[in-house]
Structure 1
Amino acid sequence: MSSPVSIREHWIDTGKGPLFAQDWTPTDASDVPIVLLHDSLGCVALWRDFPEHLACTTGRPVIAYDRLGFGRSGRYPGALPLDFIDDEARESFPALQRHFGFEQCVVFGHSVGGAMAVACVARHPQACAALVTESAQAFVEHQTRDGIRAAEQEFAREGQLERLQKYHGDKAFWVLRAWVDTWLSNDFSDWNLDAELARVKCPILSLHGEQDEYGSMAHPERFTSVPDVPTVLKSLPGCGHVPHREQQAVVLEAVVDFLRRFAG
């Protein structure tokens, strides 16, 4: 890593409960920050060392937060609503922007966090300089549901829920059911990002593993078919659902090149 990074923790008040956030800021940081949005079972801690490496290689501050109900953030008040993706853009993104005081940012989302990143860009176009999706879903497909069913069976095995409890504490069962029950719901089966993608006006980088167990290459192809904006599709051979862990160097190189070309 090229330069020292300071790491700070934050608590952000919302109308529903407190959000936990963390930032990684290089000593010589310049340009707009990168905001990370985690996946359906994720949290700040599960990004592991990726945010620090991302901050060092891009020279930009990196911000990550636990969605309400996840990680160190407060409990979610009730069941997760079917419009939870747009909810994140409508409520949490403005709270982050107010707390950290950025006028613009690069939004980077993994898995369902990528869908949330699209929603943020669509709803807050002036605040979003660029969009990065990683292993994100643009619609509900059979492969996604099949992968979730397989994961549900795996978590039903003795001792497997403890893997989530390590990061989400006594919220772990809620986290698991929020993921499984939402995506397997008949009421969610027609969900897609078509309307949001039609409103995206900033450059898009879409990263996707060719062996992703939760989504086919149809998703990054949809993300990079947005007209009249620069788009880059980066397919990753031999990679599954978590490229920033499985092929971190490749992901970092792709992000740096993309930002240098389109958001410098």
Structure 2
Amino acid sequence: MDWSANPADKLRIDEVGLEYACHGPAPGDAPTLVLLHEGLGCVAMWRDFPAQLAARTGLGVLVYSRQGYGGSDPVTRPRPLDFQTREALEVLPAILDAAGIRQAILLGHSDGATIAAIHAGSVAGHRIRGVILEAPHFFTEPGGLASITEARAAYESGDLKQKLARYHADPDGAFLGWNDAWLDPGFATWNVAEVIDYIRVPILAIQGRQDQYGTLAQIEEIESRAYCPVDTLILDCRHEPHRECADRVLDEVAEFCSRLLRIEAADVIPA
């Protein structure tokens, strides 16, 4: 794996090529923050946030585009309704293995936060040391589904398709793969909140009060179910705190990571 901001080739996972970028120290030199993007995101849409994270935390940062997004290989539609669980249990472990990551902190946004939570609550082992969940979804909400319906109208008759085409090689695959799944009638009862019960590492949960895709009920679900330490950061913004309140999010993430590293160091000091 080419640990650089502009790798020459895609990362290949089960014959699927995934676009990726790396910042900061390689996995053999420091723990790694692994960034998992939102339902319409990709490597480029994180902008300079990964590089800023590496600079602020001193950790390595791996960011990749899931299949069907950014410059990654296209995806076959329709996506299965359990696509987030499949990403968490099948694809993400293979990526961590391929990158040689032995100590990871998962930072997921929106669908990526859900994938991070499912992985942390389902995959046994000590590789995951903490999870940062930004605007996570554990169950559907009427307001969120209404906003996803509005996004469909913006894609079909507005300029959303043109905007997404700047970032995604296959904008139809990126948008419709996400939108069709969320608006499928069978998805209305989707609920993966049970995974919270099994997370055994510290959690930082971040949410905007004006998030158009989810309410504070998602954060309250974490607080009411988690058996591990939970820090929350509620901000006056919409669905993208890491862009809308970048400095505050960087501060909180850096402090969360620093605290995890201090705990790790204390754990290995001989009595």
* TM-score w.r.t. length of structure 1: 0.91
Between the aligned partners of 2:71 and 2:84, the Cα distance in structure 1 is 20
Between the aligned partners of 1:150 and 1:63, the Cα distance in structure 2 is 32
Which residue of 2 is the match for residue 176 of structure 1?
175
Asked if the contact 2:199/2:227 (under 8 Å) is kept, the reply is no
Amino acid at match of 1:12: L
Between the aligned partners of 2:256 and 2:161, the Cα distance in structure 1 is 38
Matched residue of 1:95: which SS?
Answer: helix
Equivalences, count: 257
Which residue of 1 is the match for residue 251 of structure 2?
253
For structure 2, which runs of at least 5 residues remain unmatched after alignment? 263-271
For structure 1, which runs of at least 5 residues remain unmatched after alignment? none
Q: Evaluate the alpha carbon distance shift between residue 207 and residue 86 of structure 1 in structure 2; reply closer, same or farther with a 3 A threshold.
A: same
After superposition, the CA RMSD in angstroms is 1.9
Q: Evaluate the alpha carbon distance shift between residue 26 and residue 97 of structure 1 in structure 2; reply closer, same or farther with a 3 A threshold.
A: closer
Amino acid at match of 2:244: E
How far does residue 26 in structure 1 lie from its aligned partner after superposition? 4.9
Asked if the contact 1:221/1:233 (under 8 Å) is kept, the reply is no
Between the aligned partners of 1:189 and 1:157, the Cα distance in structure 2 is 25
How far does residue 33 in structure 1 lie from its aligned partner after superposition? 0.3
User: Deviation digits for residues 84-142 of structure 1, max 9, x if unmatched?
Assistant: 01111122212211221011200010001100000111232422100101011111011
Amino acid at match of 2:43: V
User: Deviation digits for residues 157-194 of structure 1, max 9, x if unmatched?
Assistant: 3443111111112x111211122211111111111222
Asked if the contact 2:148/2:213 (under 8 Å) is kept, the reply is yes
Asked if the contact 2:130/2:202 (under 8 Å) is kept, the reply is yes
Which residue of 1 is the match for residue 149 of structure 2?
149
User: Deviation digits for residues 5-62 of structure 1, max 9, x if unmatched?
Assistant: 95242522222511111111159x9531000000011000000000000111011001
* TM-score w.r.t. length of structure 2: 0.89
Which residue of 2 is the match for residue 160 of structure 1?
160
Which residue of 1 is the match for residue 214 of structure 2?
215
Which residue of 2 is the match for residue 49 of structure 1?
48
Asked if the contact 2:205/2:232 (under 8 Å) is kept, the reply is yes
Q: Percent identity?
A: 32
How far does residue 253 in structure 1 lie from its aligned partner after superposition? 0.7
Which residue of 2 is the match for residue 35 of structure 1?
34
Q: Evaluate the alpha carbon distance shift between residue 137 and residue 158 of structure 1 in structure 2; reply closer, same or farther with a 3 A threshold.
A: closer
Matched residue of 1:206: which SS?
Answer: strand
Q: Evaluate the alpha carbon distance shift between residue 256 and residue 165 of structure 1 in structure 2; reply closer, same or farther with a 3 A threshold.
A: same
Between the aligned partners of 1:6 and 1:227, the Cα distance in structure 2 is 36
Between the aligned partners of 1:89 and 1:250, the Cα distance in structure 2 is 28
Matched residue of 1:18: which SS?
Answer: strand
Asked if the contact 1:132/1:205 (under 8 Å) is kept, the reply is yes
| The one of 231, 239, 242 aligned to 1:241 | 239
Does the alignment pair 1:129 with 2:121?
no
Amino acid at match of 1:147: S
